[in-house]
Amino acid sequence: MTRDEVFTLIQGHLADELDVDPARIDETTRFKEDLEADSLDLYTLVQELEDSYGVRMSDEEAARILTVGQAIDFVLERTPA
């Protein structure tokens, strides 16, 4: 799995879930400040990542992930090469 593959999944999920243009989403995009995502939106993203990649994310870990790039890093650090 590549960084681009994870980014594409996250970008597509956020665009659908938040009804935003995917072009607005890059690795520096902040979930709350830039996309106005609420806690339910972030919860569904965590579920999507867990289901798609088999990673598990605690509430504390999720709270520390503020940008799309940080979410990608989390997935890549916790999945086999």
Residues labelled catalytic: 38
Residue with tokens 């879930």: 17
Phi, psi torsion values for 29, nearest 5 degrees: -65, 130
